[in-house]
Structure 1
Amino acid sequence: MIWTVYLSGEIHTDWREQIQAGAHEAGLPVEFTAPVTDHDASDAAGDLLGKPEKQFWRDHQSSKVNSIRTKTMIEQCDLAVIRFGDKYKQWNAAFDAGYCAALDTPYITLHDEDIIHPLKEVDAAAMAWAQTPEQVVEILRYVTTAK
C-alpha cells in the first residue's frame, strides 16, 4: 500500500521538505500532498473571478477556491501532518485538524512544546504529537512498514 500523507499548516519553514526527504531516504511507501504554499498565490486564488473592492470579499473568494484543493486532499489522504509554527497563528491549520477529526482521518500534530496549551484540544484529537520532522518520519516508518 502506498500511503497518501497530507502536509498541512505553517508555510514559512522547510519542514515539509525535511519530512519528504526523510521518507524518501528511508524508502517509505508514501506520497505527499499539500495546500498551496505560495502565500501570494493563495491570497490571489479567487482573483480570477474578479477582484472585489473590499479585502473581506477577496479573502472570502480566495478561501473558497483554495478550499477545493484542501477539502479534496484531506478527504483523500490516509494521514495528515499538521504543523503549527511559532511565528504566526495558523488558524487554517487548526481548521484542517478539526476537519480531519470530523472525518475520522488520523493526524499528527507537529509543534514546539511552548504552544501545547493553546493546542490542547487539537492535540487531544491527534494520534500523535511530534516536535521535529524527524519524529514524523519515524512515525511514518512505523505505521507504513510496522518496523
Structure 2
Amino acid sequence: MNLIVYLAGEIHSSWRDEIKEKAKALNLPLSFVGPMEDHSRSDSIGEEVLGVQPSPLYKDHTASCINNFRTQVLMNKADIVIALFGEKYKQWNTAMDASAALTLNKPLIIIRPDSLIHPLKELSTKANVTVDTVDQAMKVLTYVFE
C-alpha cells in the first residue's frame, strides 16, 4: 500500500527533504506532494498564465487563485497531511492548509515547537496527532505500516 503525503508548511527550509530522506531510509511506501517550493515562481504564476497584472494586488490575487487550485488538487489526492509550523516564518499558509485538511477529513499530523503550543492550541486539538519534531512524525507514519 503506497500512501500520498501532502507536506504543508514553509518553503524556505529543507524540512521536506528531511522527511523524504527518513521515509526512504525506513523503506516506507510513501509519495510526497506539497506547495510550489520555488517562492518566486509561486508569486509570479498568475502573471505567467494571465499576463502582467495592473497592480500588486491583482498579481497576488491571480497567483493565489492558481496556487490554491494546485493545493486543492494535490491535497484531494493525499491520504495524509503533515503541517509543519516553525518559528522563523509567518505561518498563515500552513494554518490555511491544515484547516483545509481538516475540512476534507484528511488525517492530519501537526509538527510544532513548544513555543507554539499556545497559539496553535485549537488547531492542535482538531488534528489527529500533534508532535514536536519531524522524527516523532516519522514514528507516527512508521506505525501505520506495522
Return the TM-score normalized by structure 2: 0.95
Superposed CA offset, 1:112-141 (max 9, x none): 110111111211111111221111111110
Do residues 98 (structure 1) and 99 (structure 2) align? yes
Matched with 2:47 is 47
Shift, 1:31, TM fit: 0.7
Superposed CA offset, 1:28-51 (max 9, x none): 011111110111110011012122
Unaligned runs of 5+ in 1: none
Do residues 57 (structure 1) and 58 (structure 2) align? yes
Structure 2 CA distance, aligned partners of 1:13 and 1:130? 19
**Secondary structure at 1:45's aligned position in 2?**
helix
Cα root mean square deviation, aligned: 1.0
Shift, 1:55, TM fit: 1.2
Name the count of aligned residue pairs.
145
The runs of 4+ residues in structure 1 deviating greater than 3 Å are none
Unaligned runs of 5+ in 2: none
Matched with 2:25 is 25
Identity over the aligned pairs, expressed in percent?
A: 39
Structure 2 CA distance, aligned partners of 1:53 and 1:113? 43
Structure 2 CA distance, aligned partners of 1:45 and 1:9? 19
Matched with 2:127 is 126
**Secondary structure at 2:119's aligned position in 1?**
helix
Structure 2 CA distance, aligned partners of 1:86 and 1:51? 34
